[in-house]
Structure 1
Amino acid sequence: MELAKHADAVELLLKGRNLDGYEIFVSQSRDLSIEAKQGQVDAFRAAEPFGVAVRLKVGDGLGFSYSTSMDPAALAMMVDGALVAARMQTQDPGYTLAAPAISYPELPWLYDPELPAVDEELKVARVLELERLVLATDPRVKRVRKCSYGESVYSSFIRNSLGLEKGYRGSYVTCSASAVAEEGGDAQSGWDFAFSPSFSGIDIEAVAKGAGSKATALLGARSIPGMRCPVVLDNHVAAGIVELLAPSFLGEAVHKGKSLFMGKEGEQVFSELVTLHDDGLLLDGTGTAPCDGEGVPQRDTPLVTAGVLQGFLYDSYWGKKAGKSSTGNAQRGGIKGAPRGGANNLMIDPGQASLETLLAGVERGVLITEVMGMHTANTISGDFSVGASGFYLERGEILYPVKGMALAGNLMQLFKGVDQVGSDLRFFGGAGAPSLRIAELEISGS
């Protein structure tokens, strides 16, 4: 792999240094983003970020530094900086480097070799067509806030002093649209997106339809009085709540006493209908890769099976602290930071029920399609109180759109209250879920 030669150059600088271990990480990508507004290209940005990072071990100290240049002076400064950091740092026997793996998963679909050859005019045409399609979904869709196209072709390479060496490349394409619908003095917005490792994997008609229909669906929304009732969370809202749970599944949070699930392994924490896992090998997943940021093979890790807590996610450091192996969950947010724990593709398994089936069992309740302020939930206690909008239901039928609601409760109780799981699993970034029906939640209305 071409990036290996950059690792060679850094390795030469490490020879003769008083080290107890080293890790070299090299990353390079070619990124493109295009935005359209009112039938014209509003923004066109291209970038080719490159960088190399090292982690150097001296005794039980581990120092990190990086460089975005392969200039020998810049590399020497990077190595010196990491050495100083390793010597100055508080000694910690938890600092460790990943051992080489016997094998790595094969993910041939991760890279689309045709993407770099697609003409840029076709990419511009795609985002302009997306805007046209959004406006054509419904006469009430009056404008498009933004339509965007993004892509990246990326490569990573990692090598360490224990003999680990792994490189891979990948690609992805995204499209998104934000629409505004207006009627009778009321205005509502709707958003949708698509993600794929390949150019041909994006369905812009589905994105346009999603954004347009979400905007028009909430027109004429009313207030309702407060009540305690069954609640159906659509897959977008459910995925947002799954994302909120992610930190509680990390070994770091457990060790620091900041996890909802601390000390609950083997216990029934959710409804037996809920199975949740982190699949680092998921087909077309945004967090999928053959290895994590330390070179550990990614895998599918069970976290909650039929409601019972199975375990947690670890990188090498927090795994060693807990006496566990890394689960392949060390992530790098770019070249400028050392790897740290994170979920790859966190998901609830789908059930058998269609959204219609979930609604059918509700005598009087609400379907929630949007929540505001979910990030304010207390991820240690699990308590939340958020704004919400959606639809009022009676006898399984949607009667009218609703706004100005507040949902309150506890995340653990919410998941214990799941009495039906939808079949419509969808991912929104690194978290995915089907629609979920909750037996009872507190709704505050007007």
Structure 2
Amino acid sequence: MLRLLDLRGRLDAGETLDYRAIVPRADFDVDHAVERVRPICAAVRHEGIEALARYSEQFDGVVPDSFRVPAAALAAAADRLDDELRAAFTVAIERRRAVSAAELGEKSVDVTLAAGAVVSQKMIPVERVGLYVPGGLAPLASSVIMNVVPAQLAGVSSIAVTSPPQKEFGGLPHPNILALCHILGIEEVYAVGGAQAIAMFAYGVPGLCPAVDLVTGPGNIYVVAAKRLLKGRIGIDSEAGTTEIAILADAAANPVHVAADLISQAEHDPAAASVLVTDSADLVARVETELERQVALTKHVERVRTALAGRQSGAVLVDDLDQGVAVVDAYAAEHLELHTADAEAVAARIRNAGAIFIGTWSPVSLGDYLAGSTHVLPTGGCACHSSGLNVKSFLKAVHLINYSREALAEVARHVEVFAAAEDLPAHGAAVTVRFEQR
């Protein structure tokens, strides 16, 4: 089911291997999608609600009675929650809130550089954010928690959530999404999806939705393209694409667990990536056997088979664990599981991953819901330079510079010399004039 890429012996043979290029990766052509969403965003900017209605009918097959979800619908969804589901939501919120509180850390720092020379850093929450919650193949109610909780802990004063309208729910987003918004105290919720939702947040829609400063949350390629197109007018968290998992395993790994975890991510989308990296050909064979058995038993068989057999998925055979670490570091997976001896020590060697799941009892699905960590993570190799969504994603660092006359005098000549070197004499003059006798 998984295509096999055998790297064994190729380094010893003198070959130079570019792991980033040769390890399976999904195609994700955001530039092409940007041109598709450009007219959608422009229409929302200029036509407002009329454009939202047209695209809602075209893409979602339903036009909500109200694009802003009524408070009564939020409360009703919460009232109808199954008791066990409500308990799961409660635990997930508590754990994400606890981790978010720890992420917050010190919100301000003061540095005294000399007598009367103080520079402070103050962390200021973004004033208004728009949070996108996907509703396609899988309505990700869990994304409500992952977006809302860190924004609240950061101190964001205005939070709006949007999710695509669903035909089967009368043009409202999925009831679980509405219920979680109600539980978390979010009253501003919209039944708008896709690129038009991002445009609504970026430009604002008169009489419906004020513009926001920052948009966060995962979505399909058209949501990502709209975020790229409108970045600058709004801040964005990342350009998160289709989900991916990499598993680094050795011969002692449990093939039942490995197969189950590969399937769990393949279940998201036919384009989802599931990659196994191991130095054990025997493990690959045992995982293949388990995949055949478990895939036949899962609900979304065709979706899973398509993902696992796609060019974005595969098994990579390496010479040893050291090469395996190099491969997964180059891949920079959204989710990286470690099924190896001394997995904690291996985790300490990893530089690039959105989140690292250590040992067989820490599956990605735990992180998706209840670990307390974030599940809004960088994809497509972006974990080499980007972080997952966290409290600091909703904070701006602002420096406050407070020098006395004496402290400025101490460095005035340095400023003047620096300004002259850059041929910006007015910069130097702005300091010089302060000490001239009038």
Q: Normalising by the residue count of structure 2, what TM-score does the alignment of the two structures yield?
A: 0.23
Between Structure 1 and Structure 2, the one with more strand by share is: 1
TM-score, structure 1 normalization: 0.23
- Which of the pair is proportionally richer in helix? 2
Greater relative CO, 1 or 2 (CA 8 Å, sep 6+): 2
